[in-house]
Structure 1
Amino acid sequence: MRRFRRAAGVWAARGGENGPAAGEARELAAAAGVRTAVLVEGESDLVAVEALARRRGRGLDAEGVAVLPLGGAMSIGRFLAVCGPDGLDVPVAGLCDAGEEHYFRSVLERTGPRSHLTHADMEELGFYVCVADLEDELIRCLGVDTVQEVLDVEGDLRSFRTFQKQPAQRDRGVDRQLHRFMGTHKGRKAQYARALVGRLDLDRVPLPLDKLLAHV
């Protein structure tokens, strides 16, 4: 499945056109048994979706559910082409931030059978929106005290305390400080996506993640 993800990314970068990249991706999709594609904005979303699925006893790779990071919301059109009737021809679902909902909606309206999609229409199609983003959803679900406990376990609490003293952070709430801290180093969002999902009460899961996994 990892090889398929890489190949799908190359195919999408080439506009979903047929060629060697398309052939390789199709072969790998068949070998991996891909039956559904889940389009997410970045690596941290991929990590969170797969981590929550594992906690619920699911193995998405074994189920043929390929979670594909777009590398940014602007790439959704290319990935929809890869997954669509002229590509892999598999069902798609997705997860995006609130700030990108309008872009996801416009592409789905342009490429799908329906126009003037509402938020509910998008969910019916399998696309769910985080408010404001995945990190914000996780912080709100867990609460700032629990998130700081996770930072302590991950060895970042001292760095966070130093970060809180920066002039730009002093007047922000702890939730906003935590959110910003997670984006300060490459790989930190993915690290905390996994760690925070690991602390979730499975009866209290961010709704967009919960609905997405129920859909696929």
Structure 2
Amino acid sequence: MLYPSTDLPAAPPRHDARPPVPEQCYRCGARGPKLVCPRCKVARYCNQECYKLDWKRPEKGGFHKLNCGTYSLLTRSNTLPPASLRPTVEASVLNRVRMYLSPIACLHHSLKGPGFVYLQSPHPLAAFAFPGPGLRDAHGPVHASRAGSRSLVLTYVPIGEFPQLTRDDFEVAEALPHLTGALKGMDPREHVLLLVKFRCGFLGVLKTVVVLGYDVCLKLAEDYKGQETYQLDIDDV
């Protein structure tokens, strides 16, 4: 379960700097599709057959049934509305990396003292809104120019080293009072504090539960000793 300690307001969304993608059928990739899904009003198809095939479950070669609700949420802008930012962080990011996050946090807390995990990604949060491995977004089938892993970078930062972090990334400076406030009275054996940042401008201070228990996490963290930064591909975990 994810719950807030305090939240920072999301910054205005920044759109990806990439060449425009021509309209294409979400099933076969043909240019100039004529039909639009009546449910999400985003996905486009060249004919009814393509629409029916794409509506099937992923194991049968279709993806629309899985992603129709997300297409509707993203619309054609491919950015998430503010109300859905936190649920996406929880369901699509933290739930996928929790088994790595807790051992990393517990290990470094035992070595460096109170602090937080700085979780950041070079990708916009919308890229994590789909359950599949980046196969699609609100613009349709992924082109080579938009393909790639959905990566996250995790770094444990002792609270005393926060000023060093702001020298490299001044945007996170406003998070300090939220972080220090959340650390007061927080039991690191039970909770992990996070500073979360995505390329789209989302910035938040979150708190999540330590899974498996502090002592078990310390044993699992043996493989992480000596590492300061950890990179994860969310589709490989």
TM-score, with structure 1 as normaliser:
0.29
Higher helix fraction (1 or 2) = 1
Higher strand fraction (1 or 2) = 2
Of structures 1 and 2, the larger Rg is shown by: 2
Q: Which has the higher contact order (CA 8 A, sep 6+)?
A: 2
